[in-house]
Amino acid sequence: MSALAAPSHSLSGLGEDAILIEPIIRTTARFYLFTGFLLSFVLLGVVAYVHQYRSGLGVTGLNRPVYWGVYITNFVFFIGISHAGTLISAILRIVGAEWRRTITRSAEVITVMVLLFGVGSILIDLGRPDRMLNVVKHAHLQSPLLWDVCSISVYLTCSTIYLYLPLIPDIAILRDHTSKRRWLYRTLALGWKGTPRQYRVLETLMAVMAVLVIPVAISVHTVVSFVFAMTIQPMWHSAIFGPFFVVGAIFSGIAALICAMALIRWGYGLGAYLKPIHFNNLGLLLLVMSLLWLYFTASEFLTTFYGHEPSHMAVFNAKFYGPYAPHFWTMCLTCFVIPFVILCNRKTRTIAGTVVASISVNIGMYLERYIIVVPSLSNPRLPHEPAVYGPTWVEWGIFSGCFAAFVLAYALFTKFFPIVSIWEVKEGREKAVAEVSGRIRQYLPASPDTPEVEPDDEHGTTTPMVEVAGV
């Protein structure tokens, strides 16, 4: 990526949205600094992994019976965050929430990028990564881990398509407006010309994908939870785990999205596109999810407590009073108290407020994943020597490496493609107002002086676009 200035004449055609492709054509020193910063962590992660690959998983703090630790936590956490994107964007698209237009892209990118690290975490956790193809060669479909493999691959495919489809018109814009990487954009634009037929096909495909991706997304996190719930281990073997994990995933996903949006807004000066109202709306969603999270957590622990089965109570006690109490109570604080206090008050539901709440939620959700994985394992059913698990530098190195690589990949995406959907913004600006007012009229009883209007979708959506494409 060079900081070559693109021909200014072509930019002018984008009007006020030119700022959206600014990051693609111009790269600031600040970005290089940021990249360097992230790269150093990625390097740490690579060094840590090479060390682990050569020596064995012994370099981690894992032991018997705590066979799973930070890597599996990362896996669940990253897969959880992946729900930010596709799921939220799909739901918002289906319900026709107009405020979605500037945020869907940034959400979808999170999904695709972070999924890679979710899958990667599992591979990092393998004792024999060299044999990972055995999963295909000797696939044993009875194993919930294989359900994961299937459902994550489908999700990754769907999410990538779902990210790619709405990108096509924007790629075409890039093809037409910039001189950089023309071959790339030309290939990826698939000969997009913006014809009404193309739009119709695109819209249909997007609608299909939006519907399709929701059950897949839900299944992914359900299946992730099944990895735990299908065993008979104390406090894993729980029917609530599926929905509990899905809620947790959406919860952490929204929080991750808010953080990402804030970063983009601040980094690229997109205050005009990512407005307080977006943060406010997402903040409200986050508030709802935090309450849902509380509901599920409470059900989970109350059920365990009332059942009072000794092996379950050992885990329960470890979380409430034992060695995992700091994690547990911090989680309660960061997943509920902090976001609730900030988000239920309109005065604090500002950009800064929602970002603080989101960071807090992400910390909390990481802790939650950790205390789902570790305490159950360190309190096995049969008596055992006190099991102490503490992650080593390798595990933290790999975690920070993965996280940095994810952020880096995200940042690089913004250098290749507009992180705010240009055509959708345009479409919204040019046609949504009419459409929405029409829709609103539909909801209300017809007033005697205005005749009932049947919205003409085809006409309404295509006309302005032709203009855009024609520039």
Partner 1 sequence: MARWGMVIDLDCCTACQACVVACQAENNQPPPQAGQAQMGRSIAWMELVTYHEGQYPNVKLRILPRPCMHCDEPPCVKVCPVGATYKSEEGIVGQIFGRCIGCRYCTTACPYTVRYFNWYEPVWPEPMQKGLNPDVSIRPKGVVEKCTLCHHRLIKANDLARYENRPLRPGEYVPACVESCPASAMVFGDLDDPESEVSQLAHSRRAFHLLEDLGTEPKVIYLQEKE
Partner 2 sequence: MEFTRREFLIAGGVSGALAAQGWAVPQVIYAGAREGQADPLERTVMTLCRQCSGGCGLKVRVIRDCVVGIAGNPIHPINRGGVCPGAPAAVQSLYNPDRLTQPLVLAGPKGAGRYQPVSWTEAVRQLAARLRDLRRTTGPHGLAVITRGDRGLKRLLLERFLQAYGSNNLIDGAAPDAHQAYPAIRAVQGFPRAVGYDLAQTRYVLSFGSQWLDAHWSPAQAGATFAALRGRDQDDRRRFVHVEPRLSLTAAKADEWIPARPGTEGALALGLAHVIVREGLYDRAFVERMTDGFEDPDGGRGGRIGFRRLVLRDYAPSRVSRITGVEEGTIFRLAREFTAQRPALAIGYDGASVSTQRTYDRMAIHALNALVGSIDVAGGVTHFRDIELLNLPVPEPDGPAEAGLSKPRIDVADPSVYPLADCPTGMLAERILADLPYPIEVLVLAGGNPVFDSPHPQRVQQALGKVPLVVSLSSWMDDSARWADLIIPDAHSLSSWDVDLSHTLTGRPVVTTARPVVPASAEARGSAELILELARELGDPVSRALPFPTAQAAVRAVCDTLAASGRGGAFGPLEQEGWIRLLERGGWRPPAARSQDEFYTKVIAAGGWSDPIYYDREWDRVFRSPPRRFAFHSALIAQHVKPRNEADDVRCLPHYQAHESGEPNEAFPYRLYVYPLAVLAGMKDVNIPWLMDASGRLMRQRWNTWVEINPRTAHKLDIADGDVVTVASSRGTLRLHAKLFEGIMPEVLAIPYGFGHEGGGRWCEKIGQNPATLVDVEIDPLTGGPLWNSTRVALRKT
In the complex, which residues of this chain contact partner 2 (CB under 8 A)?
383-386
> Of the two residues 385 and 454, which places its CB atom closer to partner 2 in the complex?
385
Binding segment (CB under 8 A) for partner 1, from list 16-24, 41-49, 56-64, 419-427: 56-64
> Of the two residues 36 and 386, which places its CB atom closer to partner 2 in the complex?
386
Binding segment (CB under 8 A) for partner 1, from list 53-61, 158-166, 185-193, 298-306: 53-61
368 lies in the site for partner 1, by CB under 8 A: no
Give the CA radius of gyration of the chain.
Answer: 24
Question: Which of the listed partners (partner 2, partner 1, none) does 62 bind, with a CB threshold of 5 to 8 Å by partner kind?
Answer: partner 1
Question: Which of the listed partners (partner 1, partner 2, none) does 448 bind, with a CB threshold of 5 to 8 Å by partner kind?
Answer: none
223 lies in the site for partner 1, by CB under 8 A: no
Shortest distance (Å) from residue 400 CB to partner 1: 22
Binding segment (CB under 8 A) for partner 1, from list 291-299, 324-332, 355-363, 378-386: 378-386
Burial class of 105 by CB neighbour count within 10 A (0 to 12, 13 to 18, 19+):
buried
For partner 1 (CB under 8 A), the number of binding residues is: 45
Query: Which of 145, 214, 240, 412 touches partner 1 by CB under 8 A?
Result: 145
> Of the two residues 63 and 348, which places its CB atom closer to partner 2 in the complex?
63
> Of the two residues 299 and 317, which places its CB atom closer to partner 1 in the complex?
317
Residues 6+ apart with CB under 8 A from 153: none
Question: Which of the listed partners (partner 2, partner 1, none) does 143 bind, with a CB threshold of 5 to 8 Å by partner kind?
Answer: partner 1
| SS3 per residue for the chain | CCCCCCCHHHHHCCHHHHHHCHHHHCCCHHHHHHHHHHHHHHHHHHHHHHHHHHHCHHHCCCCCCCCCCHHHHHHHHHHHHCCCHHHHHHHHHHHCCHHHCCCHHHHHHHHHHHHHHHHHHHHHHCCCHHHCCHHHHCCCCCCHHHHHHHHHHHHHHHHHHHHHCCHHHHHHHHHHHCCCCHHHHHHHHCCCCCCHHHHHHHHHHHHHHHHHHHHHHHHHHHHHHHHHHCCCCCCCCCCCHHHHHHHHHHHHHHHHHHHHHHHHHHHHCCCCCCCHHHHHHHHHHHHHHHHHHHHHHHHHHHHHHHHCCHHHHHHHHHHHCCCCHHHHHHHHHHHHHHHHHHHCCCCCCCHHHHHHHHHHHHHHHHHHHHHHHHHHHHCCCCCCCCCCCCCCHHHHHHHHHHHHHHHHHHHHHHHHCCCCCHHHHHHHHHHHHHHHHHHHHHHCCCCCCCCCCCCCHHHHHHHHHHHHHHC
> Of the two residues 85 and 242, which places its CB atom closer to partner 1 in the complex?
242
68 lies in the site for partner 1, by CB under 8 A: yes
384 lies in the site for partner 1, by CB under 8 A: yes
Which amino acid is present at 34? F
Query: Which of 7, 15, 16, 58 touches partner 1 by CB under 8 A?
Result: 58
Residues 6+ apart with CB under 8 A from 67: 377
75 lies in the site for partner 1, by CB under 8 A: no
Query: Which of 61, 196, 323, 464 touches partner 1 by CB under 8 A?
Result: 61
308 lies in the site for partner 1, by CB under 8 A: no
> Of the two residues 383 and 448, which places its CB atom closer to partner 2 in the complex?
383
Question: Which of the listed partners (partner 2, partner 1, none) does 65 bind, with a CB threshold of 5 to 8 Å by partner kind?
Answer: partner 1
Query: Which of 11, 24, 48, 57 touches partner 1 by CB under 8 A?
Result: 57
Shortest distance (Å) from residue 283 CB to partner 1: 37
233 lies in the site for partner 1, by CB under 8 A: yes
Shortest distance (Å) from residue 174 CB to partner 1: 41
> Of the two residues 136 and 277, which places its CB atom closer to partner 1 in the complex?
136
315 lies in the site for partner 1, by CB under 8 A: no
Assess contact for 422 and 170: CB atoms under 8 A.
yes
Question: Which of the listed partners (partner 1, partner 2, none) does 348 bind, with a CB threshold of 5 to 8 Å by partner kind?
Answer: none
Site residues (vs partner 1, CB under 8 A): 55-58, 61-68, 122, 125-129, 131-132, 134-135, 137-140, 142-146, 149, 227, 230-233, 377, 380-385, 387
